[in-house]
Amino acid sequence: MHELLMPGNGRRRLLLGNEAIVRGAVEGNVRFVAAYPGTPSSEIIDRFSQLALEAGIYAEYSVNEKVSMEVACAAAVSGVRSLCSMKHVGLNVAADAFMTLAYVGVKAGMVIVVADDPFLHSSQNEQDNRYYAKMAGVPMLEPSTPEEARAMTTEALDLSEEYGIPCILRTTTRVNHCRGPVTFGDLPSKAPAAVFKKDPFNLVVVPMVGRKLRLALLDKLKKLQDASEHSSLNFTEGSGKWGVVTSGASYLFVKDSVRDLELEGRVKVLKLGFTFPYPKAVIRDFMSDLEKVLVVEELDPFLEEAVRITAQEAGLPVLVAGKGDDLVPRAFELDAVKVKKAMSSFFQVDYEPPEVFTAPQLPSRPPNLCPGCPHRATYYSVKKVFGDEAVYPTDIGCYTLGVLPPLRMADFLICMGSGVSTAGGFSKVLDQPVVAFIGDSTFFHSGITGLINGISHDHRFLLVVLDNGTTAMTGHQPHPGIELTPEGKIEPKVSLEKVIAGCGVKHAATVNPLQVKKTQDVLQELRRTMKEPGVSVLISKSPCPLYENRLLGKRRKVVFEVDESSCDLCKRCLEDLGCPAFSWSTSAAGDTCIRINEALCSGCSVCAQICKSIRPKKIGEGKGGNE
């Protein structure tokens, strides 16, 4: 039995926040889950897909976040509780569906988990998604710990169903990827039957229906306001003439700060779990006898604005502060020390921040494409054919790491799919070759429309689709075009080649980038086709070795070694290819030499194709293996 499906009976387990959300959803009788993976939310859909069969839940890796929200809302409109999860920027992709789904609403509970990433641990920006709840007018809950994440997921489902509107569960990296003790609740016994009742004048949003639903939404918001005012998720702790308003992970830092700054009896804390509609009366009552209030929250002043508005409307003479110099920083994550600094400065109590030692000057350790990664081989060949003068728009995935030296094969990136569309724009204004990169999963996610646009407007660029047969970056999730699955090799359900041909691409070719000469020949040919307007496409196809080895239990048969007697130390292997298995080293005789670390080499053979001094070397049975 999957750990997350075990019966309750007071069982306590250390769960990742994301696992706690899954458990809460199972307890809340979710039967339909859809998501596109994205850090820090990916483990939610990963766990669901592991336990789906056993739990009688439908779970899918959708093609993108918008699609995931649409399929999940159809289930909820048909009376089946559903969940979709995404990273913060995923909601940008799904925003079109989201904004009007708020109007149409749901029949069964629907939770939209949105995982913000303050400090951009693995994201392109740190937008504060709480504003989406406000913009759409949907309720929002914000947990602080894995235990709360479990409970609030169940509560969000109930709330959503009661008011007939989807509910946001807004988390941050430090909730999703925090592990803490979670007490299991009871599991539901059976799934409800799905029923769709035709009701076009409430479900088909033409303007006259939309107008009606707009008013209905405002009415729901009033009722939700009431729910928020009475919610046990908003509560006060402690007492005093000063106050702190907080939510999410920040609450934990505040608790430690109150204790360490010895503010007990002087500061009371309002912890908000139901943050939209924010509980105006609760905030007003909290502040009614306070001299000053500090709002402690990560990212933008969302609660601070709520508190200021409330104070102003109620005519309270309380001093409100939040974001600002010496107070709560707006950028990046908070921690206990930052919060102590802000609270001590605002409440004017003594605090000696810890002395912080500086680390000595150290070599950096940036992440890198794995040894044997086919992306490196593709970049190598493209650079040989197009050189430094070409403009290289790129996209989001492992291959974005190609931005680092020595490859330096990324010039522009804003979001998923932007590689293709921006290439078209660049090609219209620049007199340089433009070569765009996009991964296979990202192509299905949001590259297709850009390609169609480019073709229909005669944009002139080469699109290189880096097809490694998986969504590698987020943990090797499937996508529509995969051939390699845990159950074995399959015919792809959606063929990348056919989609690209179907979009109207005239010059397309597929290569295995691990065959260097062939790849460069094909690239030369495609370069010639670029004399004419139009989009040419190269599908550079070779599976992610990490994924392939894991699935197929493949073991290396050869590794490669440098023949030191013929190596003339030209360093091309290091400076042009840059496989991390190479190193600049010292031979037994004390001479400088280049070595290949046998433990790291995946045996891809690319280096041996660019240098005659690199040769294969058989490895003994049982040794090796790329674990």
- Interface residue list for another protein (CB under 8 A): 12, 14, 16, 39-40, 121-122, 145, 173-174, 177-181, 249, 251-253, 255-256, 333, 335-338, 353-360, 362-370, 398, 401, 405-406, 546, 574-575, 578, 580, 582-584, 627
Q: Which residues pair with 114 in a beta bridge?
A: 86, 170
Q: DSSP letter at 446?
A: I
Task: Answer yes or no whether residue 578 interacts with ligand SF4 by CB under 6 A.
Answer: no
Task: Answer yes or no whether residue 385 interacts with ligand SF4 by CB under 6 A.
Answer: no
List all residues 6 or more positions away from 206 whose beta carbon is below 8 Å from its beta carbon: none
- In whole angstroms, give the CA distance from residue 209 to residue 213: 6
Q: Which is nearer to ligand SF4, 154 or 378 (CB)?
A: 378
CB atoms within 10 A of CB 569: 13
Query: How far apart, in Å, are the Cα atoms of 313 and each of 242, 280, 317, 382?
Result: 20, 10, 11, 62
Residue from 373, 423, 508, 537 binding ligand SF4 (CB under 6 A): 373
Please state at what angle helix 17-27 crosses helix 42-55, rounded to 10 degrees: 40
- Beta strands (DSSP E) in 452-543 are 461-467, 484-485, 488-489, 507-511, 535-541
Please, what is the minimum distance in Å from the beta carbon of residue 271 to another protein? 11
Please, what is the minimum distance in Å from the beta carbon of residue 626 to ligand SF4? 10
Please, what is the minimum distance in Å from the beta carbon of residue 245 to another protein? 17
Give the length of the chain.
627
Task: Answer yes or no whether residue 296 interacts with ligand SF4 by CB under 6 A.
Answer: no
Please, what is the minimum distance in Å from the beta carbon of residue 388 to ligand SF4? 22
Tokens in use for 289? 């006898």
Q: Is the Cβ–Cβ distance between 512 and 525 less than 8 Å?
A: no
Whether the CA torsion 86, 87, 90, 91 is positive or negative: it is positive
Task: Answer yes or no whether residue 472 interacts with ligand SF4 by CB under 6 A.
Answer: yes
Any idea which residue has 């604005």 for tokens? 305
Tokens in use for 524? 């030369």
Any idea which residue has 């999410």 for tokens? 248
Q: Is the Cβ–Cβ distance between 556 and 602 less than 8 Å?
A: yes
Please, what is the minimum distance in Å from the beta carbon of residue 216 to another protein? 41
Q: Which residues pair with 112 in a beta bridge?
A: 84, 168
Q: Which is nearer to another protein, 175 or 423 (CB)?
A: 175
Q: Which is nearer to ligand SF4, 385 or 604 (CB)?
A: 604
Task: Answer yes or no whether residue 607 interacts with ligand SF4 by CB under 6 A.
Answer: yes
434: nearest Cα among 409, 412, 461? 461
User: Interface with ligand SF4 by CB under 6 A: which range of 69-77, 314-322, 503-511, 600-608?
Assistant: 600-608
Residue from 579, 609, 611, 624 binding ligand SF4 (CB under 6 A): 579
- In whole angstroms, give the CA distance from residue 160 to residue 212: 20
Judged by beta carbon distances under 5 to 8 A according to partner kind, the member of ligand SF4, another protein, none in contact with residue 468 is ligand SF4
Judged by beta carbon distances under 5 to 8 A according to partner kind, the member of another protein, ligand SF4, none in contact with residue 604 is ligand SF4
- In whole angstroms, give the CA distance from residue 520 to residue 383: 10
Judged by beta carbon distances under 5 to 8 A according to partner kind, the member of ligand SF4, another protein, none in contact with residue 143 is none
Residue from 606, 609, 624, 626 binding ligand SF4 (CB under 6 A): 606
Please, what is the minimum distance in Å from the beta carbon of residue 399 to another protein? 11
- In whole angstroms, give the CA distance from residue 335 to residue 340: 9
Edge-to-edge, what's the strand order for the sheet holding 140-141? Answer: 58-61, 32-35, 82-87, 110-116, 167-172, 140-141, 274-276
Task: Answer yes or no whether residue 34 interacts with ligand SF4 by CB under 6 A.
Answer: no
Q: Which is nearer to ligand SF4, 302 or 560 (CB)?
A: 560
Q: Which is nearer to ligand SF4, 59 or 546 (CB)?
A: 546
Q: Which is nearer to another protein, 335 or 525 (CB)?
A: 335
Please, what is the minimum distance in Å from the beta carbon of residue 401 to ligand SF4? 7
Please, what is the minimum distance in Å from the beta carbon of residue 398 to another protein? 7
Q: Which is nearer to ligand SF4, 513 or 545 (CB)?
A: 545
Task: Answer yes or no whether residue 171 interacts with ligand SF4 by CB under 6 A.
Answer: no
Judged by beta carbon distances under 5 to 8 A according to partner kind, the member of another protein, ligand SF4, none in contact with residue 337 is another protein
Please, what is the minimum distance in Å from the beta carbon of residue 229 to another protein? 26
Whether the CA torsion 314, 318, 324, 330 is positive or negative: it is negative
Please, what is the minimum distance in Å from the beta carbon of residue 461 to another protein? 28
Please, what is the minimum distance in Å from the beta carbon of residue 38 to another protein? 11
Number of residues that bind ligand SF4 (CB under 6 A): 23
Edge-to-edge, what's the strand order for the sheet holding 267-272? Answer: 235-237, 267-272, 242-247, 292-296, 319-321
182: nearest Cα among 57, 40, 55, 18? 18
What does DSSP say about strands 484-485 and 488-489: parallel, antiparallel, or unpaired? Answer: antiparallel
Judged by beta carbon distances under 5 to 8 A according to partner kind, the member of another protein, ligand SF4, none in contact with residue 364 is another protein
Q: Which is nearer to another protein, 165 or 410 (CB)?
A: 410
Phi-psi sector, 60: left (phi>0), alpha (psi -120 to 50), beta: beta
- Beta strands (DSSP E) in 553-618 are 558-562, 582-586, 592-596, 614-618
Task: Answer yes or no whether residue 151 interacts with ligand SF4 by CB under 6 A.
Answer: no
Task: Answer yes or no whether residue 37 interacts with ligand SF4 by CB under 6 A.
Answer: no
Q: Which is nearer to ligand SF4, 62 or 441 (CB)?
A: 441
Q: Which is nearer to another protein, 153 or 176 (CB)?
A: 176
Name the helix (H) or strand (E) containing 298.
none
Task: Answer yes or no whether residue 391 interacts with ligand SF4 by CB under 6 A.
Answer: no
Task: Answer yes or no whether residue 471 interacts with ligand SF4 by CB under 6 A.
Answer: no
Residue 126: φ, ψ to 5°? -125, 50
Judged by beta carbon distances under 5 to 8 A according to partner kind, the member of ligand SF4, another protein, none in contact with residue 596 is ligand SF4
What is the full DSSP assignment across 507-571?
EEEEE-TTSHHHHHHHHHHHHHHTTSSSEEEEEEE---HHHHHHHHT---SEEEEE-TTT-----
List alpha helices for 328-439, DSSP H.
Answer: 336-347, 374-386, 418-429
Judged by beta carbon distances under 5 to 8 A according to partner kind, the member of ligand SF4, another protein, none in contact with residue 353 is another protein
Task: Answer yes or no whether residue 463 interacts with ligand SF4 by CB under 6 A.
Answer: no
Judged by beta carbon distances under 5 to 8 A according to partner kind, the member of another protein, ligand SF4, none in contact with residue 363 is another protein
Within residues 537-576, the interface with ligand SF4 by CB under 6 A covers 544-546, 560
Q: Is the Cβ–Cβ distance between 435 and 390 less than 8 Å?
A: yes
Give the residues lining the site for ligand SF4 (CB under 6 A): 369-373, 375, 398, 468, 472, 544-546, 560, 579, 581, 596, 601-607
